[in-house]
Each structure stands twice: as structure tokens, then as C-alpha cells.
Chains A and B, each alone.
Chain A
Amino acid sequence: MNYAHLHLLLNHFPIIGAIIGLGLFIVSFFGKNQDLRKASYIVFIGIGLITIPTFISGFGAQDMIKGPAVSDALVRRHESSALLSMWFMVITGALALIGLWQAQKTSQPPRWNVLAVLLFSVLSVALIARTSNTGGDIRHPEDVTGKSAPVADGTITDGPVGGFIAHFEPDPDKFADAMTFSKWWWTFMMAAHFIGLIMIVGTVGLLDIRIMGFLKQLPVAPLHRLLPWGLAGLAINVATGMMAFAGRPENYIFSAALWLKILALLLLGVNAVAFYLTGIFGQVEKLEAGEDAPFAAKLVAASGLFLWFAVIAMGRYIQPLTDTLLGSN
């Protein structure tokens, strides 16, 4: 297993998942099927989450395949494209999360949210299709049609659609420079990352320890209403985390701690599914002050708390473990 393998393993999920999600979402408009719409939202959230390790593994894969046999221009075009599509996939996932949250009260996501998800998911599919296409071109030069094959000086001519999208794709080096040029901006991002962490621990952590049986004087339902603050913290941290990664990928990509952190985040996704989709949430939501949660709920809460602790711990160990994965391929 190396980064090229990992990238190949992961990189089909975003494109296929985005198309499945968009398909379910569009079908949900016919007959106004809210369950189908919620299912499409869950797909968008899951795919938004998977896009992050896919994006990150691409940097490792790029490092591995450097050489005369691979066109640097094609790699850079793919990287630019991924840098744009990744944000759209993540934003689509975030919008879907907001929609699902609001659907709790109103049984369906509000109209603005449905329109926003429609817009962003369509754009995401278009952008991720180009990312997949430009990625495929790297290793399948036989598919690169004569017109778009790189010429000797490294420039690539795109088709009309690709050429249009290319205007919006950031240059990876310029994006990295923008993230790192000022220590004030970098510090601001890192401070925001810590504020986000505090928002998550203060809300999700508090809910978890209440369910586990501490602070039983507090009823669960109102505590659960603090969760949008935790989700806002998560959004801040995904944004600042990915910007920091894109600024200094070489500091992160070979750190075992980064991958353990991402693994813990993916497991938290599973934890959320266990909490919301198995009926546990319905049981704990009714708990009034002084009432005890069922054992399964305590288990899910305790594992969630442990996983958040693991996320913080692995985040802290990214730096000392910076080179742990060098030469492991």
C-alpha cells in the first residue's frame, strides 16, 4: 500500500458518490419524496467527508510518480482542478448537513437550502468530473486527445468546457503562498482552528458526557440544541485545516498522525450514523433532568468522546511525526 494505491482506491468515491447523490436528489423532486431527499443529503455529507482524504492522498501520489514518464503539466492541471472541486464537494456536504439539521423541526429542509444544495451539487459534479478526467489523463495519456495533449513546452490546450472551468482553478503554488506568506494570517488560521476545537468540545463533548451520565441535572434536548455551534466549529476547522494543509502539504502528508486523525474523523461519521439512524437519538432526546440514558447510548457517547480526544491528540502529534511515513512505500 502506498499513496498512489490509496489515491486510486479513494478517488472513485467522490465522482461516483456525487453522481449518485445528485441522482437521488433530483428524483426526490418527483413525487416530493422527503426520505429520498434526506438519503441524498446523507450521501452528500458522506462524500464530502471522503473527499478530504482523497484530496490529501493525491499530494502523496504526486510525490511518488514524479519522473520523466509523467507530464508535470498534466499533474499540475489535475491539482488545480482538485483544489477547486474539493471545496465545492465539502460545501455541498456542509449545506446538506445544515438542511438535515433544519429538517428535524420542519420535517423537510427549507427552500433556500434545497436550492443551495441543488446549485452546489450540480457544480460539484461538473467540477469533480473535470478533476477525475484530468487525473485520468496523467496515467492514461492514450486518452488525451490530440488537441489537449501537452506540447513540448508543457502547455495544455483544454476543450471549451475544461478551458472555461480552468479560469476559476487556483494555481496550487499561488494558493500555497497565499496561505503561508504572512505569519499573521497563518496564526489567525491556527487560532481559528483552536476556537473551532473549543466549540466542538464545549457542545458535542458536553452532550456526550451528559448522555454518559455526568451532569444529569441537565435535560438532553436543550443541550442537543447547542449542536449547531459545534457544527459551526467543525466547519471552521475543516476550512482552516484544509487551507493549512494546502499551504504546507509537505509538513502533513508524511505524518502518520495526520492519517490517524482523518481515520478518527471518518469513524466519527460512523459514530454520528450510529447515534442518529439507529433510534438512539430518539431515546435520549426525551431524557429529562435526572434521567439515565440506555447503555447503547452511553457507549456511542463514550466512543464519540474518545474519538474527539483522538482527533485532538493526533492533531498535536502531526508535527513530531512529520517524517514517519517517508520511504515506507
Chain B
Amino acid sequence: MAVPLIFNTIEQTGLSRWLRESQSIFGFYFILLFHTFGMSLVVGANAVVDLRILGVASDIPLRPLKRLFGIGWTGLAINITTGLLLLTAYPTKALTNPDFYLKLTFIGLAVYTMARMNKEVFSDTSLSEAAMIAKGKVFARLSLFFWIGAVGTGRLLSETARYFFYGHPAGG
């Protein structure tokens, strides 16, 4: 399948070139750092809620952990922003890699799980803590699974790329 020409157009824009080629420490790796930092916030916050619901450190009061969703959404916002910038730098590399779509699928499912848990478990103030846990268990397991999948497929991206950029196949 031909690689869409628009990827090349994006790669030739000033922003894309600067992100890829700048030697500044605020270039590509700075964006990547904040992508990692955002990941640790969103996955870290979710993991703590998930583990607590699954029985770890059960003397932590559950309801105040609702505040962790704020940290999670902040991390997600950082990662959507930095993710779009990384995509601007390497559109061909990302969008021709099937693993990239797998990663997006995991993230989509994980974020959907986070939103459902926030709404159905933590925003319903009529629930007792035992009821919250009973209701949250499925979400917690799915959340851990989806986030681990997102991190794993994310790390796999550089190993599975088919192109470095437009017209430059990887390994060629």
C-alpha cells in the first residue's frame, strides 16, 4: 500500500523539521521526556486506584482517591499534546506501523475504563466503600491490563517501524 503523500507534506513543515532535527535540548527528546512524564502520571495514578480496589493497602480511604483522577487527566492531557507533537515529527514512521494503532487502541480502552470508573464508582456518593470495591473490581483489572498493553506496545514502536520517514524504509 502506498504511503499517503500527506505524511511527506507534514514532514516538510518547519515544525516537523525542527522537532526532528533541532540540536536544542528542548527539541525532540524534551517532548519525549514529557511524554514519559505524562505516562507516569496517568498510569501511576490509575495503577494506585486499581491496586487499592484489588485489595492492596486496604486501610487507605478509598473515596479521597477520586482526586487521583485529576492527576490522571492531567497526565493524559500532557500526553495527547506531546503525542501530537511526536506524531508531527514522524508521521510516516508512526502511521505506517500497525503497532501504533494497537497502542492507540489500548490507550482508548484504558481511558474509557478510567472514565467509566470515575463516573460509576467514584462519582456515585450513595455507594459504600464495599459497594465501590465490588463495582470497581472489573474496571481495575481491565485498567491494569490496558495500561500495561499501552506501555508495552509503546516501547515496541521503535522496534517495529517500517519507515524512518517518507521514502526511507527502516532497515533499508
Which of A's residues lie within 8 Å of B, judged by CB?
A: 183-184, 186-187, 190-191, 194-195, 197-199, 201-203, 205-206, 215, 217-219, 221-223, 225-226, 229, 289, 309, 312-313, 316-317, 319-320
Given contacts A217-B67, A226-B56, contact A191 B33 (CB under 8 A): no
**How far is A198 from B51 in the complex, measured between Cα atoms in Å?**
13
With an 8 Å Cβ cutoff, the count of chain B residues facing the other chain is: 33
A316 near B33 with CB under 8 A, answer yes
B170 to chain A, nearest CB (A): 12
Offer 5 A-B interface pairs, CB within 8 angstroms, sorted by A.
A191-B155, A194-B154, A218-B60, A218-B61, A225-B60
Residue of A190, A198, A225, A289 near B61 (CB, 8 A) is A289
B39 / chain A contacts, CB cutoff of 8 Å: 194, 198
- 0/1 string, B31-63, CB within 8 A of A gives 1: 011001101110111011001000011011100
How would you classify the secondary structure of chain B's contact residues: helix, strand, loop or mixed? helix
Given contacts A183-B159, A191-B151, A202-B43, contact A309 B60 (CB under 8 A): no
Residue on B nearest A199 in the bound complex, by CB: B47
A313 / chain B contacts, CB cutoff of 8 Å: 33, 37
A215 near B67 with CB under 8 A, answer yes
B97 to chain A, nearest CB (A): 13
B25 / chain A contacts, CB cutoff of 8 Å: 317, 320
**How far is A197 from B64 in the complex, measured between Cα atoms in Å?**
24
**How far is A205 from B41 in the complex, measured between Cα atoms in Å?**
9
A222 / chain B contacts, CB cutoff of 8 Å: 57, 59-61
A187 near B159 with CB under 8 A, answer yes
B48 near A319 with CB under 8 A, answer no
